[in-house]
Structure 1
């Protein structure tokens, strides 16, 4: 089991909201209105760990190890929402999200192949780590800068934990896992070719609720994310390349095969998929 070891590792570096956030360094003159508004949107977005956890537990019912790890991931992700709301409660109480605004992002996700979902969230942690690092640079107020730096480190650690479960999946399922990971890896490393930000909170996950079936579509300002990325934190091609490089680097380690570009990863995906087809293995494992 991976859960006991991962619990110890994450417990050892867990930050305390009272002691480790420099609340006394707050400088009201350094917080703009537009910056404060983005904090509210991110607080609501982080609340979406709740429906994501419900999805993970449902789709990994046969995997008690991974499901137990969700207790750690869920706790730390909900704390992200909580610390952003605590910042607003202290310094901009008029912007604290209402319970209804938070509840809006809790809805059921359609079932999906567990391995593809695992890879999707692994890539999501990499992307969010880079978004928050860029947000920390964009913000000017010292406390919120420190908060985003803290959250970015958490997201990186979560990505590392997901990577452990991906390695385990390859050991268990071989080419089926490799094909699933490569498929989603190609998608998530191709953001430059899409009009939308490729992150789990911005993907459609409930056909019956379409088009209000993304987390972002259910925010008070559904257009917020694109504006935040493009106009505010300016997550440009340089930063996007950092995300792609990290995905390709980790895929290279995971598959024991060097990928210098998305095109190379896609060729590998086709090769592994063809091998599965030749072997008559079309089904997906039910859990990671």
Structure 2
């Protein structure tokens, strides 16, 4: 089991909201209305760990180890939402999300293949780590800078934990896991070719609710994410390249072969798909 070790590792570096956030350093002159709104939207988006956890527990009923790890992931992700709301409660109480606004992002996700979902969220943690690092650079108000830096480190650790479960899945499922991880890896490393930001909260997950079946479509301002990325934190091609390189680096380590580009990963995906599709010949070879 991975859960006991991961619990111990994450417990050892867990931060305290009262003592590890420099609340006394707040500088009101460095916080604009637009910045406060994006903090609100991020708080609501982080609240979506609730329906994501419900999805993980439903789709991994046969995996008690991973389901137990969800207790740690869920706690820390909800804590992200809470610390952002605490920031607003202290310094911009007019921007604190209402319970109704938070509840709006809690809805059922359609069942999906567990291996692909695992890879999707692994890539999501990498992307969010980079988004938050860039947000910390963009903000000049000291407290929110420290908060985004703290959240970015958490997301990186979560990605590392997901990677451990992906390695275990490869030992158990072999080529099936490799094919699933490569398929989603190609998608999540191809953001420059898509019109929308590729993150789990921005993907459609409930056909009956379409088009309001993404987390971002259910926040008070559905257009905020693109504005935040393009106009505010300016998550440009340089930063997007860092995300892609990180995904390819981890896929290279995971698969034990080098992927220098998305195209190389896509060729590997096709190779794995062909290997799975090839029927096994039950006839023993001639001696």
Q: TM-score, normalised by structure 2?
A: 0.97
Matches within 5 A, 1:227-238: 227-238=227-238
Q: Which has the larger radius of gyration?
A: 2
Tell me the residue number matched to 1:255: 255
Shift, 1:36, TM fit: 0.7
Matches within 5 A, 1:177-196: 177-196=177-196
1:25 aligns with 2:29: no
Count of residue pairs brought into register by the alignment: 280
Tell me the residue number matched to 2:283: none
Tell me the residue number matched to 1:161: 161
Structure 1 residues not aligned, in runs of 5+? 281-288
Matches within 5 A, 1:1-288: 1-279=1-279
Work out the CA distance in 1 between the residues paired with 2:9 and 2:248: 25
Q: What are the superposed Cα offsets for residues 87-138 of structure 1, whole Å, 9 maximum, x if unpaired?
A: 0000000000000000000000000000000000000000000000000011
Work out the CA distance in 1 between the residues paired with 2:252 and 2:165: 16
Q: Secondary structure at the match of 2:252?
A: helix
Shift, 1:161, TM fit: 0.0
Work out the CA distance in 2 between the residues paired with 1:274 and 1:68: 34
Structure 2 residues not aligned, in runs of 5+? 281-287
Q: Which runs of 4+ in 1 moved over 2 A?
A: none
Q: TM-score, normalised by structure 1?
A: 0.97
Work out the CA distance in 1 between the residues paired with 2:100 and 2:36: 20
Q: Secondary structure at the match of 2:105?
A: coil
Tell me the residue number matched to 1:285: none
Q: Which has the higher contact order (CA 8 A, sep 6+)?
A: 1
Work out the CA distance in 2 between the residues paired with 1:35 and 1:99: 21
Shift, 1:171, TM fit: 0.4
Shift, 1:173, TM fit: 0.4
Shift, 1:61, TM fit: 0.2
Q: What are the superposed Cα offsets for residues 173-230 of structure 1, whole Å, 9 maximum, x if unpaired?
A: 0000000000000000000000000000000000000000000000000000011000
Work out the CA distance in 1 between the residues paired with 2:256 and 2:29: 51
Work out the CA distance in 2 between the residues paired with 1:30 and 1:212: 34
Work out the CA distance in 2 between the residues paired with 1:139 and 1:81: 18
Tell me the residue number matched to 1:284: none
Work out the CA distance in 1 between the residues paired with 2:76 and 2:249: 26
Q: Secondary structure at the match of 1:257?
A: coil
Shift, 1:279, TM fit: 3.5
C-alpha spacing 1:279/1:9, structure 2 compared with 1 (3 Å): farther
Work out the CA distance in 2 between the residues paired with 1:164 and 1:121: 13
Work out the CA distance in 2 between the residues paired with 1:37 and 1:208: 30
Shift, 1:6, TM fit: 0.1
Work out the CA distance in 2 between the residues paired with 1:276 and 1:209: 33
Q: Secondary structure at the match of 2:278?
A: helix
Shift, 1:30, TM fit: 0.8
RMSD: 0.5
